Amino acid sequence: MEAASIAHSPAHGDHHGPPPANRSSRVETQLLGMLLFIISEVMVFGAFFTAYFFIRVAKGAPWPAPGDHLPVEVAGVNTAILVSSSLTIHWAQTSIKNGNRFGLKAGMLTTFLLGCTFLFIQINEYANIGFAPQDNAQATVFYSLTGLHGAHVFIGLCLLLIVTIRSFRGHYSPQEHRGVEVPGIYWHFVDVMWLVVYSTVYIL
């Protein structure tokens, strides 16, 4: 009986339960997750751009609708502000990689303030633009595209606020800076997507 018990007992060191999850040796988990999330968000924006091009190309409707005016100059200044925030967050990322904590804190704080300025100007634009989403199809698409991007800016600001607070608490180092890099990738995505929105909605 004892021999049978020994024969059926598992060998020392045998693995029990489900096998360990596969992990890519080339892309870290946090980075991969953010990249997949960005891909899904590109698809969301793509759906709204489809409606935009349907109105302008398939239906041949004038853009914007007759009587409506888009504040191209104000949006251009706002674009410059957002592009500047990409430069400042890159400064913050480069600084922490080189052990420059002042550059990290100054870069993150400046990026957060620039992002808040962008969102404030966009909200003020909505308040003074002179037409509402329900007025016509062009207005609906305009508010949908710019509003969707504004929502992404708000999410990005929440991430930037967390990173900025942690930066001032000394949570990052040249060896451990993934917490700065991953939100930075998202913020760069927000900036690039705005360049696409501004070019198609305001300029073309």
- 135-189 pLDDT, tens digit each: 999 999 999 999 999 999 999 999 999 999 999 999 999 998 889 999 999 999 9
Per residue in 49-87, pLDDT (tens digit) is: 999 999 998 888 899 999 999 999 999 999 999 999 999
Give the other-Cβ count within 10 Å of 135's Cβ. 15
- Residue 87's pLDDT is 97
Per residue in 24-42, pLDDT (tens digit) is: 457 678 888 888 999 999 9
CA geometry: angle 107, 113, 119, nearest 5 deg: 135
Contacts of 138 (CB under 8 A, 6+ apart): 55, 61, 62, 63, 64, 65, 68
Distance CA 159, CA 17 (A): 36
Domain architecture of the chain: domains with CATH: 36-54+71-203 (1.20.120.80)
Residue 1 has pLDDT above 60, yes or no: no
